[in-house]
Structures are given as structure tokens and as C-alpha cells.
Structure 1
Amino acid sequence: MRRPTIPDLALAANVSVATVNRVLSGAPNVRLATREKVQRAAEEIGFYGLGSIHARVAAARPRLRFGILLLQPHRPLYQSIARAMEAAAAQTVGAEVDLRVEFLEDLSPQNTANRALALANDCRAIGIVSAAHPTVTEALSQIQAQGVAVFSLIAPLPTTGQMSYIGLDNWKLGRTGAWAFAHLCRVPGKIGMLVGNPRFRNQEISEASFRSYFREYAPEFTLLEPLSTFESADVAQDITETLLASNPDMVGLYVNGGGVTGAIAALHSTGFAGKVVVVGHDLTAVTRAALLDGSMSMIMSHPLDRIARDTIDGMVRACSTPGSNQSSIVPFEIYTRENL
């Protein structure tokens, strides 16, 4: 077979030979979309100058630095989010993205605000997972006033300006969790609830919708007061053990926030694993094992690849259209032991 020529590439890309020559030479008067179109055609036909085209396209793309600020690095969920963000940045076609991912070990509002301000100093856009607090809100408003786009990830945040949100519809999340208990529990009874931190608005919204479902459709159940784990597995284990000891007739447990690892450990240590319906969030190695051994009944999970892709793409668009809202509400995934 003969080697593809420049006219062959022009035909495959549906452009002129002159346009292909301008792409190969790195001429400035070619739109990025056209360069990428020629690149895709070159990949398809095996054009000999593909390396040069890749270099020319990369050089023509805008170079953007983005920052992502996540919660504690020891939590598998946030490590998974970090990997998904890095993969999405590497696959972005509209820009060359330099991504900085940082983690918050100290979740205090002042530390969160300071780290966000520092990250925004040399980034065009930042994404942040944070509890809602006036100190954090003030810092993010200051960042927006500097022209840096801010994206709240997983948990929506209030600010005086417009902020894009990438995450789930938490009202639907809570009501779906409640629906699961109403249909999976063999008899009505007490349902306990663990929340990570009431200042995380996603948890607050899902708790409210969880309660609203029971008021509307299943009033025969008794909802116990929510207990805060403060996003700690150790705290979650302690309060779950106490909760089960105080309510041995409990029929369900909703883990709405951080600490699910500790809650699962408590179920096993008290002998309640598999005896109560347990619903929680996010598929990790630990929650997957809990589904398989029957200590959890259902997981509602963030689609991390989709969230990462929408975040990076939204940041790229926000840089080209300052002040635009790039919010994306993504559908959550539902897992049981039968569909793993």
C-alpha cells in the first residue's frame, strides 16, 4: 500500500491542500477546530506527518492552569476524584490543561479559605469541595472578583456572585434513598441517619428530601435524629455502635456523608451486618465489599468520570466566556449486589 499523501489527507479532512500545508507549517491563520479536524483525519489514514500535526495542534491550543481543592487525601472517594480529574485534563481537546490537585487535611473554614485563595493566585479557574461557611464564602467571592472562575464540586456553595456547580441533584438523591428503605425494609420501624457535616449543603438537601418522602409516602416509619460523623470513620464507628445498642429494633441506616467505612465496621462488630437495610453514597473498594457481603443494601454513587469531564470542559468554556454559568447536574448511579 502506498503512503498517504497531502492530497489524500486533504480529501479525508474535507479541506483544501493549501489548508493542510498551513497546518503542517504551523501557520497562525488556521482555526483550532480546523487543525483538530486535520489531525483526526491524519490519525484515521495513518498520515506520515502525524507527529508534526500533533505538535502544531498542541502549540495552537490555549494553555490554561486549573486548580482542584479536595477533602482529606486518605479518603478513597477523593483519591478517585483526583485521578478522574487528571484523566479528563489530559484528554481535553480544546486546550492544553495544566492541572493542580490539592487536598485539605485540615477542614477548618479558615484553612479552606486560605488554601483556595493561594490556589487561585496562579489558576484561571478552581474547583472546590467544601462545607458552606461565611469565611469560605467570602474567600470565594474575592476569588471571583479577581476574574477567576469558581466551581463548587459535589456540594453546592452559596456566594454573592455566580458560581457553577458540578454534581448531583441532591433532592432526588435523598428521596431515592428513602424510596429504597420504604421498599426494602420487611416491616416499618426505626431508621437511623448519619451525616458528615450539616454545613455540607448536599447533605442538608438530601436529608430534607429524605424526610419529605417519608412524610408523603411512608409515615409508618420512625426517623431518628441525624448524628454527625464530622467526616471521620472513627467517629462514625463509635456513634453507629451506640445507635445500634440504643435501638436494637432499628430496621435501617442511611449513611448520608463521610464515615461509611466506620459505619460498616460498627455493623460487623455489633452483629447487625446483613440484619438492617443500609444505604449509602459512592462506590469504593470498601462499599463494594459491603454490598457483596450483604452489610450494605444499596449505593448511590457520583459518576466520577462524567463529573471530571464536565468540570474541566466547563472551566475551559468559562475562560473563553467569562461570567458564564457552566453548571452541570449529572445523574447518579445506583448499585446493588446484583449489578456490580
Structure 2
Amino acid sequence: MSKRPTIHDLAEAAGVSIATVDRVLNKRSKVRESTSQRVLIAAEDIGYHATGLLKKRVRESKPFKRLSILLQRSNDEFYEGLGAAIRSACSQETQFQFEVNVVFMDEVTPEYITEQIIKESKHADGIALVALDDHILNRHIEQLTANNTPVFTILSPLSTNTCTGHIGVDNRKAGRTAAWAISRLTKKAGKVGILLGSHRYLNQDIAEISFISYFREIKHSYELLSPLTNLDDDTLAYQATKTLLNNHPDDLTAIYSAGGGVKGIIKALKEAGKSKQTTLICNELTSYTRLALSDGTIDMIIATPVQKLASRLAELFSESFSSKKCHPLAPVQLSVDLHVAENL
């Protein structure tokens, strides 16, 4: 039977003294973060019996910060997954001990979101949020950043230039990719419907503009219809899709959904028997969009790389807290994940 690793073995594996290992284990005095991490990694490598205690000590030694993550729609699978990914990524961060409070906002008016920001700012050291652009909301964010509270926008940027940073996909590329896909996948030219939650979600606004600009640049016979807004709500998206189908029963070739409400779009297409005739490009891979992709209702999904976004957000918070003064960081634009039935 192999000998159980001793504290001497751990010190040798970590390249430190036994006294340093003792300080990490028993919190006798301050040890540099990098040294504590080296001891922990060595303990895991050699199977040291007190690895669990070491993890606890290393976690306790990190500065403590409270984060409030303001997302939308508590019953939305995508946002539930995003919230869980952010919690997980923040728990893995090595420089700080993060306590993460994820708040789902079922009301998306600027007034309500502003109320939540004010409420959370009373106890949060940092805030990240998904919100539509609004001057009142922006003013409160400007006040927070002026007081050295880092504020990051997720998915959709805001027009204020005082946010600590932004992280989301490259929406220009997302919109142009959707247009490219429709120009390649449709069997014949015709009318193209455009659905989005609101033009005040700047990510959707940019995606829609880029979608239209692609068609402007190529020779085509498509007719791009005026965009319809649905507040990313399934019921409103269902009604908007029904309107498109009723107004253009024979020549609606494709639909691009730059926002949410995809369940409603799928339902309307299936009810009308148009799920196979109408090319549908939409956002985010969830259980229901995956099923619709596999049965041919959806032709392509343009998805946010959720795990990458969550990990990078945790890093951005750490980078911001490590600075003595809160200052704007460069926006992070992630490449989209593309899904078709054959690569599920």
C-alpha cells in the first residue's frame, strides 16, 4: 500500500517550506495568493489528505466581493442557463471570493430596471446587467461608476460611455451571418420578415441594421419587410408571426428573429403548416430551439457562447477590482456559435 503524502511531501512538491504550508493550512500569517495557489495545486497532484481544507483556506484568503447580475425573464431557459454559468465562473475565479446574486427581471421597462439597479447598488460591489437603452437608466449607471462601482453590460450595450465594460457577441457579424444564411438556404426569392424585441436593445438594433446592409450590398430579389417588435415575448412573437403569415400567405420566404420570443414564432409556423417552407434563422440554443432545429422548423441558430461569456465576465470583474480606480475597459466581442441540424 502506498504511503500517504505528508506535509513534508507537499512542501517539496510545491517548492516551498514546511512552515509556508503550515501558514496556508492554519492561517498563522498572510501568504501570497500565488504561493497559496501553488500549494493547493501540489496538494491536488499528490493526493494530500487535507486538500479540502487547503481549498477552504485559499478561498477564505481572497478578498470578498458581492456581485449583482441583473438578467431578464425568470422563466426563460437561456437566461437561466446564463445565470448558472456566471455563478459557476465566478466561483472559479482565483483572485477574489465572489458572492453572486442573480436577479431575474420579469418586467423590462427602464423604470423597473432602474429601480433594481438602485436596490442592488446598496449592497453590491459590482453590477452586470442586460437592459434596453434609456437615458434615465444610463444616468444612474454613470452615478455608480463615478463612485467606483464597476458596471458591465451583458449582451446589449448602452449608449452611455461610462460603463466599466461590455461583453457580448459581435452583433454586426451576427446580423450579416443571418442574411448570408437566408440568401443561401432559401429555395426561391420572396419576402423576408424581421422580428426583434425592441430597437432599444442596441444589440438587436445593430444586428437588424447589419442584416439589411448585407442585402443592400448584394444583387438579390428579396423584399425585406418592415421589422416587427415583440418585446422578446413569446405571445407577442406568435401574434407578429401570424400577422406575417396572414399578410403574405404565398410568398413569405424567410424570417429572421434578431431577438427572443422564438417559442411563439415556432408555434405560429407549425400551426400554419409553414415550418418546412419558411426559412427561419433565430438566436440561442435551448432545449426547444434544439428540437425545432432537428425537426427542420429552424434552419440555423446564431448562439451566444455562454460559458466563454461567463468566464470572461468573471475575469473582467477581477480586473476591475484589482485597479485602484474604476476605469472603462475595452468592450469584449465574442464570436457567435453557429448551429444547424447536422452539427447538433
TM-score with structure 1 setting the length = 0.96
**C-alpha separation between the residues in 1 aligned to 2:109 and 2:316?**
28
Residue 75 (structure 1) shift: 1.6
On the 8 A contact 1:117/1:143 being kept in 2, the answer is no
Residue 21 (structure 1) shift: 3.0
1:334 and 2:316 correspond = no
Among 254, 258, 266, which residue is 1:252 paired with?
Answer: 254
| 1:49–1:285 Cα change, 3 Å | closer
**C-alpha separation between the residues in 2 aligned to 1:31 and 1:56?**
12
**C-alpha separation between the residues in 1 aligned to 2:302 and 2:161?**
31
| Cα offsets for 1:206-239 (capped at 9, x unmatched) | 0111011111124322111100012211111111
1:268 and 2:292 correspond = no
Corresponding residue number in structure 2 for 1:304: 306
Residue 134 (structure 1) shift: 0.8
**C-alpha separation between the residues in 2 aligned to 1:34 and 1:60?**
12
On the 8 A contact 1:280/1:299 being kept in 2, the answer is yes
**C-alpha separation between the residues in 2 aligned to 1:143 and 1:48?**
45
On the 8 A contact 1:174/1:210 being kept in 2, the answer is yes
On the 8 A contact 1:314/1:326 being kept in 2, the answer is no
Corresponding residue number in structure 2 for 1:205: 206
**C-alpha separation between the residues in 1 aligned to 2:272 and 2:103?**
37
Residue 275 (structure 1) shift: 0.6
Corresponding residue number in structure 2 for 1:286: 288
**C-alpha separation between the residues in 2 aligned to 1:163 and 1:62?**
20
| Cα offsets for 1:152-189 (capped at 9, x unmatched) | 00101121424311110100000011110011112222
| Cα offsets for 1:277-319 (capped at 9, x unmatched) | 1000001111111101111100000111111111122112211
Corresponding residue number in structure 2 for 1:277: 279
Residue identity opposite 1:263 in structure 2: I
For the residue of structure 2 that corresponds to 1:86, the secondary structure is helix
Corresponding residue number in structure 2 for 1:169: 170
For the residue of structure 1 that corresponds to 2:302, the secondary structure is strand
Residue identity opposite 2:129 in structure 1: I
Q: Percent identity?
A: 34
| Cα offsets for 1:10-40 (capped at 9, x unmatched) | 2221223333233233243321111011001
| Cα offsets for 1:224-270 (capped at 9, x unmatched) | 11000122111111111111121121111001102111011000111
Corresponding residue number in structure 1 for 2:25: 24
Q: Name structure 2 gaps, 5 residues minimum.
A: none
1:74 and 2:75 correspond = yes
Matches within 5 A, 1:195-234: 195-234=196-235
Corresponding residue number in structure 2 for 1:315: 317
On the 8 A contact 1:185/1:252 being kept in 2, the answer is yes
TM-score with structure 2 setting the length = 0.95
Residue identity opposite 1:331 in structure 2: S
For the residue of structure 2 that corresponds to 1:165, the secondary structure is strand
**C-alpha separation between the residues in 1 aligned to 2:219 and 2:234?**
30
**C-alpha separation between the residues in 2 aligned to 1:218 and 1:229?**
30
Q: Which sits farther off after the overlay, 214-223 or 171-180?
A: 214-223
**C-alpha separation between the residues in 2 aligned to 1:7 and 1:178?**
63
**C-alpha separation between the residues in 1 aligned to 2:211 and 2:51?**
54
**C-alpha separation between the residues in 1 aligned to 2:85 and 2:165?**
19
Residue identity opposite 1:243 in structure 2: L
Residue 88 (structure 1) shift: 1.4
1:131 and 2:135 correspond = no
Residue 6 (structure 1) shift: 2.4
Corresponding residue number in structure 1 for 2:5: 4
**C-alpha separation between the residues in 1 aligned to 2:284 and 2:277?**
21
Matches within 5 A, 1:231-242: 231-242=232-243
Residue 5 (structure 1) shift: 2.1
For the residue of structure 2 that corresponds to 1:299, the secondary structure is strand
| Cα offsets for 1:65-103 (capped at 9, x unmatched) | 000001111222111111111221222222211101111
